Amino acid sequence: MADILQEIASNLYDGDDKTVANLVQRALDQGSAPEEVLAGGLIVGMDEVGKDFKAGDLYVPEVLIAARAMHAGMGILRPLLAEADVPTAGKYLIGTVEGDLHDIGKNLVRMMLEGAGFETVDLGTDVKPEGFVEAVREHQPQVVGMSALLTTTMVNMKTAIEALVEAGLRDSIKIMVGGAPVTAAFAEEIGADAYAPDAASAVDVARQFIE
């Protein structure tokens, strides 16, 4: 059984979505539990992608193709996991802050988190402070991620955090910020809990938050 899970992981790494979907179905047919296929196949493969991306051995297009293969496998597993009420790694809400339309990096972060077993809620781009507040009330995530790519919009992360404080929601969540102009010092200055420089690090930090 371990062999087929290993095959899923390596085909995911190679971005072969059709083979991943076929192997996931075959593993289930052979009696593997959906959570076993997720943890031992898809997550193992996506973790490898994350490590190599962080090390600079893989680039954005390769990560996007691997994420597509992960989605092909998840398409089969998701209904079964929901049916079995299998707990996720955690709930992560993410959005690009007000005034900012860049979403490639944010999507990459979201896809890596999904690959690591997190349930994600994606608010899209140009998210106003009230948008974060309403979504936290509605979805009750453990972690809120904010992305910004412009020096003119990174300040809107601060406004969004202030709105969450004002709404009395700050203590119920961990806040992670990221994006090209953002730094660890800036994250600290605006009262975020963490900064992640890339999508793989975002997964590492989110996992630490949930432990």
Interface residues with ligand B1M (CB under 6 A)?
60, 94, 99-106, 108-109, 145-147, 149-152, 176-181, 196, 198-199, 202
3-class secondary-structure state, position 209: helix
Q: How far is the CB of 24 from ligand B1M (least distance, A)?
A: 26
DSSP-assigned letter for residue 198: S
Burial of 48 (0-12, 13-18, 19+ CB in 10 A): middle
| Per-residue tokens: 18 | 């059709």
Question: Smaller CB distance to ligand B1M: residue 36 or 119?
Answer: 119
Place of tokens 């062999």: 3
Give every strand in the sheet of 119-122, ordered side by side.
119-122, 91-96, 143-147, 174-178, 194-195
Q: How far is the CB of 180 from ligand B1M (least distance, A)?
A: 4
Question: Smaller CB distance to ligand B1M: residue 42 or 58?
Answer: 58
Question: Smaller CB distance to ligand B1M: residue 70 or 202?
Answer: 202
Q: How far is the CB of 184 from ligand B1M (least distance, A)?
A: 11
Helix, strand, coil percent content, the chain, rounded in steps of 5 = 60, 10, 30
Question: Smaller CB distance to ligand B1M: residue 19 or 156?
Answer: 156
Q: How far is the CB of 187 from ligand B1M (least distance, A)?
A: 9
